Amino acid sequence: MSASPTSPSSTLPGRAEQFSTRVCFFVAGFTFAAWAPIVPYVKDRTDLGDSGLGLLLLCLGGGSVAGMPLAGWLSKKYGCRLPILFAVQLVISALPVLSLASSLPLLALALFVCGVGLGTLDCVMNIQAIIVERASGRAMMSGFHGLFSLGGLAGAGLMTLLLSSGLAPFSAVMFIVSLTVAAMAMAAPYLLPYGAEGDGAAFAIPHGVVLLIGLLCFVVFMTEGSVLDWSAVFLTSIRNVDPSLGGLAYAAFSLTMTICRLTGDAVVERVGRARMLLAGPLCAAIGLFVVTLVPSSWGTVIGFGLVGVGCANVVPILFTAIGRQKAMPEHVAVPAVTMIGYLGILAGPAAIGFIAHAVGLLTAFILIAVLLLAVAAGGRFLRVDD
């Protein structure tokens, strides 16, 4: 790695750099989602119970959080290109091990390495996205994040198709790895050889407006994680839907989020980020109120779909806000905010479980709706439009 990345002034991002950013977001979602279908195979190979598997999976989240401070330092010192390629290499090196290993220490290590790669990739690609969007002079962040969602659908769908056709997990994973390598080979020449401008430590405790952005991200990520982990449980246990149809709730959420992110840039350009940052959390909160107050299975599915519509463009707008604030350098602010957001994904669903045990799942989702209303209010203090 060279310690002297090209400066931003010598290479302004254009269409090629926009393409490479889109590839990174797609690859991040694609490789992350490809892991999910092989989890049952890991469980069978290791004879782990649900609690043991849950502890093992914490290694993925722990690695992601550990990789984030590293990401800011790497992007500042070496630019975006080398850290992104390094992160993708970690992920595609870990996936084959996860498809074969039965040793718990080896699985834990592979999950941690995969998490470090995903966490690093998440941060650095968002730093590149901020730089590219700013250079373009128009909204692009929703589209970038939409490709992450699209990559997730593609990765999970393709892996499921490969495994259901009789392919062994290792062979299926290697097919995914091959596609990832091909995609990154096309993108690599156009990844930014520099990072964000500004001085500062590699990582710092967020403060000022960055702390506010992080807290808003925490709530939105907590909402997404809670829908992922609890929507099917809600549909089957509260609305008495057959377990085979429990996935409809999350499918509605995921589909509407993907569609709204892919079309979000045009909407943002039309109505403005500030209005979107108000309308999005309000829509998500209304969706959760529909989920909890409308005693119908289809009402629940529609409600979770509204949550997807509402949440879709909030995080992209918040990452744009990072690029507009002056309280902390971008290469420090992005990892700090991303880490707080990931803590929402990790801690949120567990907190919902404790609240549901104490006062019921209906009340737990109502509490999340109230927090989303707080996001709508807090977003008014951010500078998101020109």
Coil, strand or helix at 201? coil
Per the prediction, the chain carries an average pLDDT of 88
- Residue 230 neighbours by CB distance under 10 Å: 22
Query: Up-side HSE of residue 290: CA atoms within 13 Å toward CB?
Result: 18
* CA separation for the pair 238, 231 (Å, rounded): 10
User: Is a pLDDT exceeding 60 seen at residue 202?
Assistant: no
For position 3, what pLDDT does the model report?
Answer: 44
Q: What is the pLDDT of residue 85?
A: 97
Q: Are 147 and 134 in contact (CB under 8 A)?
A: no
209-381 carries CATH number 1.20.1250.20: yes
Model confidence at 283: pLDDT above 70: yes
Q: Does the structure show a pLDDT above 70 at 44? A: yes
Q: What is the mean pLDDT of residues 305-310?
A: 96
Number of H helices, E strands in the chain: 15, 0
User: Domain ranges in the chain?
Assistant: 12-190, 209-381
Distances in whole angstroms, Cα of residue 309 to Cα of each of 201, 232, 252, 258, 325:
37, 18, 10, 9, 26
**pLDDT single digits (tens) 69-78:** 888 888 888 9
Handedness of CA 269, 216, 354, 58 (dihedral sign): positive
**CA geometry: angle at 125 spanning 124 and 130, to 5°?**
95
pLDDT attached to residue 6: 53
The C-alpha atoms of residue 162 and residue 166 are separated, in whole angstroms, by 7
Residue predicted with more confidence, 205 or 68: 68
Rg of the chain over Cα atoms, rounded to whole angstroms, equals 20
pLDDT (average), residues 164-183? 94
pLDDT for 307 beyond 70: yes
Phi and psi angles of residue 2, each rounded to the nearest 5 degrees, phi first: -85, 140
* Residue 259: both structure tokens together: 């569609």
143-156: average pLDDT:
90
Within 10 Å of residue 340's Cβ, how many Cβ atoms? 20
Are the C-beta atoms of 235 and 367 separated by less than 8 Å? no
Angle between helices 141-164 and 15-35 (to 10 degrees): 40
12-190 maps to CATH 1.20.1250.20: yes
Q: Which tens digits make up the pLDDT trace of 7-34?
A: 554 457 789 999 999 999 999 999 988 8
Reading the block at residue 266, the tokens are 């045009």
Residue 114's pLDDT is: 94
**How do residues 255-268 score in pLDDT, each as one tens digit?**
999 999 999 999 99
pLDDT digit string (tens) for 72-120?
888 888 999 999 999 999 999 999 999 999 899 999 999 999 999 999 9
In angstroms, the first-to-last Cα distance of the chain is 37
DSSP code string of 146-183: HHHHHHHHHHHHHHHHHHHTT--HHHHHHHHHHHHHHH
pLDDT (tens digit per residue) in 322-376: 988 888 888 889 998 998 988 888 777 778 888 888 888 899 999 999 999 999 9
Give residue 5's pLDDT.
54
The yes-or-no answer to whether 12-190 and 209-381 have a common fold is: yes
CB count in 10 Å sphere of residue 362? 14
In which element (H, E) is residue 295 found?
A: none
